Structure 1
Amino acid sequence: SMGTIGCVTKGATMVFPGEGFDAGATLKAVAGERCTGLYGVPTMFVGMLDHPDFDTFDLTSLRTGIMAGSPCPIEVMKKVVSLMHMAEVTIAYGMTETSPVSFQSSVDDPLEKRVSTVGRVHPHVEVKAIDADGATVAVGAPGELCTRGYSVMKGYWDDEEKTREAIDPDGWMHTGDLATIDAEGYCNIVGRVKDMVIRGGENVYPREVEEFLYRHPKVREVQVFGIPDPKFGEELCAWIVLKPGQTATDQEIKAFCAGQIAHYKIPRHIRFRTELPMTVTGKPQKFLMREAMVDELGLVTPKTA
């Protein structure tokens, strides 16, 4: 069985996905059917790369595919290109409400652009990044990403209020994602508006810290999020899944960060987990991690308006 959104292509033949993702079954299908394309979320690719029998599968038929659904860690992307032979893999970004893709990298984009951005805007779609007041931000500055065009939904079923919150009177869908768009039009998702952590007056984007921690040779998966703190307002916490057979300490992870990233970006709380809470499509659920840490540490969450 393959992933819920993982599917492989073989010429004009489709290998259909099963009900749940199974890394071994997917690798077997790719090798056995000589598939050329593979689709999935980053967690699925991580699962395949870390499969104990990965080296026994002949994946040389692979050439292309799409990785999307949640931010694609740069280190994972590089391994997919080098170890899974997907030299023409593309990254896509969007949301269900925008049918779904609004940005996508191209197969002939430079590798650096393909591993560090989600590509450029799709044809016939408009995009912009805005500040808290709704003004378009400067080129390269972070802002909330908005999408407008044929792909934007009519609205949420039987929920006019939620629709009005998401789509403004000018037809812009507010994604809730923080992004930068460079002078060439390449977009980089830097985090969620709600995920941004303000620690002692400093803005911290968890995505940036996650990308750094993915460089640690023992780290398989990591999620960084903010939890309430009486002194700093918010403090950073990291949940880490180590690669099979590895052990690590929080001191080891902090030492890895020391002198490499700003002191206020080093997670104060580090927890090692066997798995991270995910949606069925492989999106990490930071709110569940946050709630678990609040319970564990006996924190009082500030009242929100």
Structure 2
Amino acid sequence: TQTRADDDLELRVSTVGRVHPHLEVKVVDPETGLTVPRGEPGELCTRGYSVMLGYWDDPDRTADAIDGDGWMHTGDLAVMREDGYCNIVGRIKDLVIRGGENVYPREVEEFLYTHPDIEDAQVIGVPDEKYGEEICAWIRMKPGREPLDANAIRTFATGKLAHYKIPRYVHIVDEFPMTVTGKVRKIEMREETIQLLGLDSSGQ
């Protein structure tokens, strides 16, 4: 997908554009594989000349990524708008399921960015006995600002976020664990949070 040079600023910064000519995309329910209606999130799949033939000498990974009909499953969670523009809303592996409700970390992160004292935020799911998973926000404060706690975040979010999307836990840090390529290591964050909270894999 790609935006056009003459698209307005909102489209260029908030979407990844429309599908290229001679390529196909669809957004599917990760569980059923069925195409979801426009405006609903699902996994972004693509098919056409731009799709790789497969992973070098790794048929198992190739089979996981590309199905029998030639669709490459990107692992990206996306929403196809009515106008054909596509929004990426997260990654399937980062999806949090709290009490049967899907929570997309990127949505919560973008909301937290609106707080005047927050420099950056990353949201993860941690095990919870009652709900299966709970929401935890790792937060970097702006220089000179007082650290926020879970109560402050809850007060800020109440009435603006659905109750099940509001972080139960808040962890203030100076930096996030990163990969050598500059990506946030959410797996490491989750493991550290479980240890800090004294949880186990079942949320006890």
Q: TM-score, normalised by structure 2?
A: 0.91
The 3 A distance-change label for structure 1 pair 299 and 116 is same
Question: What is the 5 A alignment of 1:1-305?
Answer: 103-131=1-29, 132-250=31-149, 251-302=151-202
Equivalent residues of 2:153, 2:167 under 8 A apart: no
Q: Partners in 2 of 1:106 and 1:240 — Cα distance?
A: 34
Residue matched to 1:34: none
Shift of 1:125: 2.3
What is the root-mean-square deviation of aligned Cα atoms in Å?
1.7
Question: Does the residue aligned with 2:111 lie in a helix, a strand or coil?
Answer: helix
Measured after TM superposition, the shift of residue 248 of structure 1 is 2.3
Deviations 1:251-271 (A, max 9, x none): 322221122111111100101
Relative CO higher for 1 or 2, CA cutoff 8 Å, sep ≥ 6? 2
1:81 matched to which residue of 2? Answer: none
User: 1:283, CA displacement in angstroms?
Assistant: 2.2
Task: Provide the C-alpha distance between the structure 1 equivalents of 2:22 and 2:146, rounded to a whole number of angstroms.
Answer: 49
| 3-state DSSP of counterpart to 1:104 | coil
Offset of 1:184 from its aligned partner?
1.3
**Unaligned regions of 5+ residues in structure 2, if any?**
none
Moved more, 292-301 or 276-285: 276-285
Q: Quote how far apart the aligned CAs of 1:220 are.
A: 1.5
Aligned to 1:12: none
Greater CA drift, 208-217 or 274-283: 274-283
Residues matched between the structures, number: 201
- Between structure 1 and structure 2, the one with the greater Rg is 1
Secondary structure of the residue that 2:44 maps to in structure 1? strand
> For residue 46 of structure 2, what is the amino acid of its counterpart?
T
Where 2:45 maps in the other structure, the secondary structure is strand
Is this contact kept in 1: 2:76–2:88, CA < 8 A? Answer: yes
Provide the C-alpha distance between the structure 1 equivalents of 2:181 and 2:16, rounded to a whole number of angstroms: 19
Percent identity, aligned pairs only?
63
Which aligned runs of 4 or more in structure 1 are off by greater than 6 angstroms? none
Mark the runs of 5 or more structure 1 residues left unpaired by the alignment.
1-102
Distance (Å, rounded) in 1 between the aligned partners of 2:56 and 2:198: 38
Three-state SS of the structure 2 residue aligned to 1:136 is coil
